[in-house]
Structure 1
Amino acid sequence: MRHIHVVLPIVVFSTAYFLTNYLQSNLKVISVNVLFFCITIALLTLYMSLKNKGFLNPFQNYFGLGDLLFYIAITPLFLLYNYVLFFITSLLFSIVMQFVLLKWIKKDSVPLAGLSALLLLFVIAKDVVFSVQKITLIR
């Protein structure tokens, strides 16, 4: 069951890539989004390490492999501005949902990738159904 952490993000990335492949600059969009995500993780690691006065690996305590793979897998779906917007919104959505579902979720950790995926489904559904300002690159 552990291999799903790798297979599912590959499927999501491939699907997102092919749904947005009409863009000439698709690889540039992906690269810029991955760069933003890597810089964010690096700054988070630096901040936590300085605060704890020693190196702190965010993947051991705060951020899971599934979270990392999810946020990289969705990079083809957004231009940078919308990727940043979705990233921040999904973090806030996950925190709110964690408090709402506190009675049913008995773990101390937040299922970030799962709740972010739920938000992504809402965003994609909105973009497909309504013709108002689209967030994703899916047309």
Structure 2
Amino acid sequence: MDIIFIGLLLCLLVLFFQDWKYRAIHVVLPILIFLSSYFIIKQENKLSNKIMILNLCFFLITLSILTLYMSLKNKCFLNPFENYFGLGDLLFYISIAPLFNLKNYVLFFILSMIFAICLQFTLRKKMKHNTVPLAGFSALFLFIILAMDGLLSIPKISLI
């Protein structure tokens, strides 16, 4: 296994533990995740800037629709980073853009939300905070996916 891939997996685990414990992540983690993802995909000659831009557009459109919906519902503009979505969540979903083609990025996005909801309900009594560590739970889910993609010979979700 490549050292960059192992570094990526370790960054995902650290991000999970930081978000779980503190409900905050260090800004260096998403940067490291993006850089390691970028270099891994570039090494395998699967990197396409067009795919990354499409993934980012999908995410930003989704975030914009969420903001618009919540603002209309409350009849005033709501900053999504104050009410519904953390800055760490934004940075995490941006940082993993190189890892997927658009279809699989959308699939990962939806499945990571479902995974986070299920974990939140399952671990609700053990959690000290009422907020959902979305970036952390999504990082744990991505760790599982990348470990499966890297170690097992099954159809892959990521580009790795």
How many equivalent pairs are there? 137
Which of residues 28, 35, 38 in structure 2 aligns to 1:14?
Answer: 35
1:5 Cα deviation after fit? 3.0
- Greater RCO (CA < 8 Å, at least 6 residues apart): 2
Going from structure 1 to structure 2, the CA distance change for 1:105 and 1:4 (only over 3 Å counts) comes to closer
The partner residue of 1:65 within 87, 98, 105 is 87
Higher mean C-alpha displacement, 76-85 vs 101-110: 101-110
For structure 2, which runs of at least 5 residues remain unmatched after alignment?
1-17, 19-23
Structure 2 residue 105 is matched with structure 1 residue 83: yes
CA deviation map 1:50-88 (0-9, x unaligned): 111110111101100110000000000000000000000
Question: Which structure is higher in helix share?
Answer: 2
Quote the offset at 1:23 in angstroms. Answer: 3.3
Matched letter for residue 29 of structure 1: I
**What TM-score do you get using the length of structure 1 for normalisation?**
0.93
Name the CA distance, whole Å, in 2 between partners of 1:56 and 1:49: 5
Deviation at 1:6, TM superposition (A): 1.8
Q: Where has structure 1 moved over 4 Å in runs of 4 or more?
A: none
Give me the identity figure in percent. Answer: 58
